[in-house]
Structure 1
Amino acid sequence: MQHSISLAVLDISGTTVKDKGEITEAFANTFKKEGHTIPVEKIAAVMGYKKTDAIKTLLEAFAEDKSVINENYINRLHQNFIDDLIDYYKNSGKLEAMPYAEDTFELLRKHDIKIGLDTGFFSNITHVIIEQLGWLKNGLVDYVISSDEAEAGRPYPYMIRELMKRAGVTDPKKVIKAGDTEVDIKEGRNAACLLTIAVTTGKSYTREQLQLYKPDYIIDSLKELPSLL
């Protein structure tokens, strides 16, 4: 592997952790309990965004009574979503790494590339996921950041910039970004990363949909990632 890359930033759900549809289902149930019926494909379209932003976007599009849309209401829905998803992750026993994710981490680290994970989740969910997988404990990944730990979530570049700061990387052309959604691609672009790579392993976007946002590469498995470098 010949490269000048110092940091690889990868998304969590759908990219390095299997997405079995539980996130969109939790979102749909959260809205349904409040009397909002939202098509699953519309929920899938905002996956990857900071989750409070996603909730606001969906309410603005589908709430019959727009007067309910305020910070307190959004935060209440978000907390309900968090509670349901944390309960699922803690008790279902179904949290799994994406195929080749851990092998890819190991290979990149052998070539002195640090691994950072970023996500549209808030840190309370992220901590449950990473704790169960043990990726920080066993040293497979170096850094993890959630959307509530930066100035703004995706598609803004702040999470990548914070990971660069933690890794001691100053040049974005030494950074690659990989993820399975529109906002992963836009985040990589906005951060001026060397490469922005889309993966088709998530539940939200097809290859054809990802192509619309013009990533540098589209891959069908993380197994393909090292060969791009």
Structure 2
Amino acid sequence: MMKIEGVLLDWAGTTVDFGCMAPVRAFMDSFAANGITVTEEETRKPMGMLKRDHIKTMLSMDRIAAQWQKRYGRSWEPQDIETIYSSFEPELLASLADYTKVKPGVLKTVTELRARGIKIGSTTGYTDTMMKIVAPTAAVQGYQPDCWFSPDATNGMGRPYPYMIFKNIMELKLSDVRCVIKAGDTVSDIAEGRAAGVWSVGIIDGSSVMALTEDAFRSLTEYEKNERREAVRHTFMNAGADYVITDITELPAVIQAIQQQ
């Protein structure tokens, strides 16, 4: 029987910031500041990646690349990533503290997992500077993982690379990748888990993929919620998730299922 020793959780959209709203507006505004209009759908596709990689991925999208060519008379270049990032970072940092509310079910689930002797780690697409805002604010609300690592700890090689997961495994002294679950709310989270060889779990409600604020989500009928949940479930399964759950409170059941294999 395989025993799960550690659960690694993402931050925005998974444990805090229902809907992963903080980065979306900052990305959209930073492109707008450079004369480029992007949609929320385009903005969310690379969500979970290191922020510079996120910008690069967006610039590489056909529609955005064509818009850049039309406005500037040339293709985008590496220095343009830095130009956009220079607008993005201060805007995100200015608003980040407003998007650190711990999601429903997180505290209860983490307490239950720790009671089972499971260690709690985390990975993120945020930088260390951003996490210095997010982590302490979450801690005040009662959520504090045993450790966290950003792409700054892995020479800038964030998701979909597996290195933040490996840093967690080393720090938490976990014995085997098969004893580890990585749970998150983006396709990048699933890719990260698969690259590391751990169990990948997608969380639907409050995810970046669902792209709804908590109020907007709660205003839906049950039929509408379930329609959206199925669409997100399909996205995560297509990305290669081992399990997809409605919300974080279902993690203990996933652990039981894995341990019974």
Counterpart mapping for 1:75-90 below 5 A: 75-90=82-97
**Kept in 1: contact 2:33–2:87 (CA 8 A):** no
Aligned position for 1:191: 196
Aligned position for 2:221: none
Identity of aligned residues (%): 30
Counterpart amino acid of residue 154 in structure 2: A
Note the C-alpha offset of 1:131.
Answer: 1.1
Aligned position for 1:182: 187
In terms of fraction of residues, the more strand-rich structure is 1
Aligned position for 2:234: 208
Aligned residues: 223
Distance 1:139 1:228 in 2: 21
Aligned position for 2:78: 70
Structure 1 gaps of 5+ residues are none
Aligned position for 2:227: none
Distance 2:87 2:128 in 1: 15
Aligned position for 1:155: 160
Note the C-alpha offset of 1:7.
Answer: 1.2
Aligned position for 1:227: 253
Alpha-carbon spacing, 1:114–1:148, altered in 2? closer, same or farther (3 Å)? same
Distance 1:148 1:104 in 2: 28
Note the C-alpha offset of 1:208.
Answer: 2.2
Structure 2 gaps of 5+ residues are 211-231, 256-261
1:141 aligns with 2:145: yes
Distance 2:17 2:2 in 1: 28
Note the C-alpha offset of 1:68.
Answer: 4.3
Note the C-alpha offset of 1:217.
Answer: 0.9
SS state at 1:145 partner:
coil
Alpha-carbon spacing, 1:9–1:26, altered in 2? closer, same or farther (3 Å)? same
Note the C-alpha offset of 1:207.
Answer: 2.1
**Kept in 2: contact 1:59–1:69 (CA 8 A):** no
Counterpart mapping for 1:100-139 below 5 A: 100-134=105-139
Note the C-alpha offset of 1:138.
Answer: 6.2
Query: Deviations along 1:127-177, whole A, 9 cap, x unmatched?
Result: 200111117x96741001112221411111100001111111241011111
Note the C-alpha offset of 1:119.
Answer: 0.7
Distance 2:233 2:24 in 1: 19
Alpha-carbon spacing, 1:138–1:219, altered in 2? closer, same or farther (3 Å)? closer
Alpha-carbon spacing, 1:3–1:171, altered in 2? closer, same or farther (3 Å)? closer
1:44 aligns with 2:70: no
SS state at 1:119 partner:
coil
Return 49-58 or 60-69, whichever deviates more: 60-69
Distance 1:190 1:203 in 2: 21
In terms of fraction of residues, the more helix-rich structure is 2
SS state at 2:9 partner:
strand
**Kept in 2: contact 1:102–1:140 (CA 8 A):** no
Q: Select the structure of larger CA radius of gyration.
A: 2
Distance 2:254 2:203 in 1: 13
Distance 2:106 2:184 in 1: 12
**Kept in 2: contact 1:178–1:199 (CA 8 A):** yes
Counterpart amino acid of residue 89 in structure 1: L
Note the C-alpha offset of 1:22.
Answer: 2.8
**Kept in 1: contact 2:6–2:174 (CA 8 A):** yes
1:60 aligns with 2:67: no
Which 4+ runs in 1 deviate beyond 6 A?
A: none
